Amino acid sequence: MSQPVVSKPTDVSTAPVVSAEPGTTDPKPVRKMTIQPPWTKRVINLILIGETGVGKTAMLNLLANVCAGIPLEEFEEKNDLENEQGGSTSTSQTNRPHLYNITCANGHKINILDTPGLADTRGTDKDNEHKDAIANAIKTHFEVVDAVIILANGTQARLGAATEYTLKTISNMFPNSIVDNIAFVFTMVSTPASFNFDKNSLPTELVNSRIWGIDNPFAQWMKYRKMLVQEPPATEEALDEMSESAHRGYVKVLRMLSQFFQWLEKCKVQATKSIYELYLMSMDIEIQISGVISRMSQTEDRRTKLKKLQDDFQDQGHKMLSEKYERIINTPFYEHESTAPVHNTLCISGQCFSNCHTNCTVGFTMDRETLARLCASFDETPGVALLDRICKDCGHPAKDHQHYQARWTKKIKTDTIIDPEIKARYDAAKTESGKITILMEQAQKEIDALEKDIIDCEKELGDLCERFAKLSLSGSFIGYIASAIALLKMRQETLKKEGTDVEAMERMAQRIERLEKKRKVLEEAEKPKKKK
């Protein structure tokens, strides 16, 4: 029986083409294209994206069979099973981006980058890992791309939180120049009446994208073949109905794929360099967001201590207050300093600013479990969960660490910083009360300076976000964060209903809090832009 020619080549240009059945020397029968009319592009590069559970693997198998000219009765499953993790369908079944090469009956090639499902229930850290892997896979395998195909469930009336998050993520990953190369394939659509999706639910930037509906005959045929051998045996009536349904779907899908490839024929190829550059820019924004939040936190901590010093004036002596003041203003101030393209393992726990593993040898990952398992900062401890492994450098758990193309660095020296004019007035003061008043004046001046510094940081961040918005398909960075928050809150409610332990709930609350802070910083940064 002839098999679809599909493989995962390390070099697309040298992908193997099988010309004989396994274990034989007989050539395969010559196949004819079942999709008419044929297209002229010799090579088509596709990126396949969709949230978990919409049937990307089944779509891949359909294309592999149909494009190879294989009739429905000879359909066979052909995908790299090592890339499938099994288990719950609520987690991404594809563990990593995977490049497939399909050799068509007309000798043309279709290269498909199958991607991990987004909105993974294991958390946004896992999604960040997927996005990083997708961006790097696009850079590695494709110089140009013909289209981005988004699969979604056509039976749902409106976007759920997971779908919205997926689309927002996609819109942030790709530049606006690729908008005409994006199309939707809605699965589980057996008839026009079963297509319930409201097109107006799509993000504004994608509402005019091409749309097709499909009830995948590959999936139907695989079910039919299982019914043939199941015990107890299925009735003849049930078998006939399933076979007829699969054949009807096969005829429909050939018409749909004919339209699909004619659309691909007209798509102008897009360079993938801009996709990767946009991804790097989003990473830069993430670093700046983290830096601004950290600076705000440190400023607030210093402000709180200085205000407390003022409150202590009535109870403590001048010398003690002076010493406390000097300790406060001499506290090191930390910011992110870029080390791109080198990445490091940093602690992000509260007031800890430790560069735990500079030049980390683990491949860049946003998945903290992977970091805990492979980074030299963490030792394996029997009976201790990955995220609870303790860092040998700073003593905090792995869940408080992250890869960054940056490092913590001291930006304020530890010398006493006193305004000369205020210092002169302080020295000339006749009473202890007068000295303390002048000292507090200096403290307030430092607070004002720090707050101005934060405003400057926000402006820089706003400028970067504005530049990102002009290049990005989404036109904004806030939407992605807002969708991520909504998704996390939805999962938080699920955890409550399932009676999840307190520690897990606290971790989820901390993730939401961090994202809320990011959104607040970005909204503040965009205010000046909205007023224009």
DSSP reduced 3-state for 227: helix
Range of the domain at 217: 6-16+36-271
> Can you tell me whether residue 269 is helix, strand or coil?
coil
Lowest model confidence (mean pLDDT) among 114-128, 168-182, 242-256, 336-350? 114-128
181 vs 134 pLDDT, higher one: 181
Top pLDDT among 477 and 199 is at: 199
- Joined together, the tokens standing for residue 171 give 């819109």
Q: Which has more pLDDT, 453 or 47?
A: 47
Judge whether residue 84 has pLDDT over 60.
Answer: no
- Whether 88 shows a pLDDT value over 60: the answer reads no
| Structural domain contains residue 61 | yes
Higher pLDDT, 232 or 292: 232
**Alpha carbon distance 28, 17 (integer Å):** 11
Higher model confidence: residue 431 or residue 520? 520
Task: List, for residues 268-317, the tens digit of each pLDDT value.
Answer: 999 988 888 888 787 777 777 777 777 777 777 777 777 777 667 655 55
Higher pLDDT, 239 or 292: 239
Compute the distance between CA of residue 197 and CA of residue 154 in angstroms, rounded to an integer: 5
Which range, of 56-65, 109-118, 300-309, 384-393, averages the lowest pLDDT?
300-309
Domain harbouring 123, CATH code: 3.40.50.300
Amino acid letter at 385?
A
Q: What percent of the chain has pLDDT over 70?
A: 76
Whether the Cβ atoms of residue 187 and residue 216 lie closer than 8 Å to each other: yes
CA distance 511 to 416: 37
d(CA 495, CA 46): 37
Residue 414 has a pLDDT of: 43
Question: 424 pLDDT band (50/70/90 cuts)?
Answer: confident
Number of domains in the chain: 1
CA-CA distance, 514 to 524, in Å (whole number)?
16
Chain segment 261-278, per-residue pLDDT in tens: 999 999 999 998 888 888
Average pLDDT over all residues of the chain: 77
Does 415 score more than 50 pLDDT? no
Q: How far apart are the first and last CA of the chain?
A: 66
Task: Grade residue 85 by pLDDT with cuts at 50, 70 and 90.
Answer: very low
Instruction: Report pLDDT for 484.
Output: 65
Angle at 298 between CA 294 and CA 302, to 5 degrees: 170
Confidence of residue 321 (pLDDT cuts 50, 70, 90): low
Highest mean pLDDT among 5-14, 255-264, 395-404: 255-264
DSSP track, 278-322: HHHHHHHHHHHHHHHHHHHHHHHHHHHHHHHHHHGGGTS-HHHHH
Categorize the per-residue pLDDT at 71 as very low, low, confident or very high, splitting at 50, 70 and 90. very high
pLDDT category, 97, cuts 50, 70, 90? confident
Which range has highest mean pLDDT (164-178, 182-196, 292-306)? Answer: 182-196
pLDDT of 92: 39
Question: Is 464 within a domain?
Answer: no
Q: Whose structure tokens read 């994208």?
A: 209
pLDDT at residue 109 greater than cutoff 80: yes
pLDDT at 29: 58
Q: Is residue 393 part of a domain?
A: no
DSSP string, 187-206: ES-SSGGG----GGGS-GGG
Predicted confidence band at 32 (pLDDT cuts at 50, 70, 90)?
confident
427-446 average pLDDT score:
72
Q: What is the mean pLDDT of residues 152-156?
A: 83
Residue from 137, 123, 84 nearest 386 by CA: 123
Distances 387 to 131, 141, 208, 364, 399 between C-alpha atoms, Å: 21, 33, 43, 17, 5
Q: Is residue 319 part of a domain?
A: no
In the chain, % of residues over pLDDT 90: 22
| Residue appearing with tokens 């400028």 | 463
pLDDT band at 116 (very low <50, low <70, confident <90, very high): low
User: What confidence score (pLDDT) does residue 87 get?
Assistant: 36
Task: Flag whether 155 is in a domain.
Answer: yes
- Give the pLDDT of residue 163: 61
What backbone phi and psi angles, to 5 degrees, belong to 46? -125, 145
Q: Residue 7: which H helix or E strand, with range? A: strand 6-7
Q: Write out the DSSP string of 430-481.
A: SSHHHHHHHHHHHHHHHHHHHHHHHHHHHHHHHHHHHHHHHHBSSS-SHHHH
Q: Give the pLDDT of residue 360.
A: 93
- Assess if residue 281 is contained within a domain: no
Per-residue model confidence (pLDDT) at position 262: 94
Answer whether residue 48 is part of any domain: yes
pLDDT in tens, 157-170: 665 555 666 677 67
**pLDDT number for residue 146:** 96
- 110 in a domain, yes or no? yes
Q: Has residue 74 got a pLDDT over 50?
A: yes
The overall pTM is greater than 0.85? no
Cβ atoms 445, 419 nearer than 8 A: yes
- What pLDDT digit, counting tens, does each position of 128-153 carry? 666 777 788 888 899 999 999 988 88
What's the pLDDT at 418? 56
Q: pLDDT tens across 342-382, in order?
A: 999 999 876 788 999 999 998 877 778 888 999 999 988 88
Does the pLDDT value for residue 406 go beyond 80? yes
Burial 172-201 (b: 16+ CB within 10 A, else e): bbbbbebbebbbbbbbbbbeeeeeebeeeb
DSSP assignment string, 362-423? SPP-S-HHHHHHH-TTB---TT--GGGPBBTTT--BGGGEEEESEEEEEEE-SS----HHHH
Q: Which of 364, 390, 361, 362 lies closest to 287 in space, CA to CA?
A: 364
Question: Distance (Å, rounded) from C-alpha 479 to C-alpha 83?
Answer: 31
Pairwise CA distance, residues 362 & 162, whole Å:
30
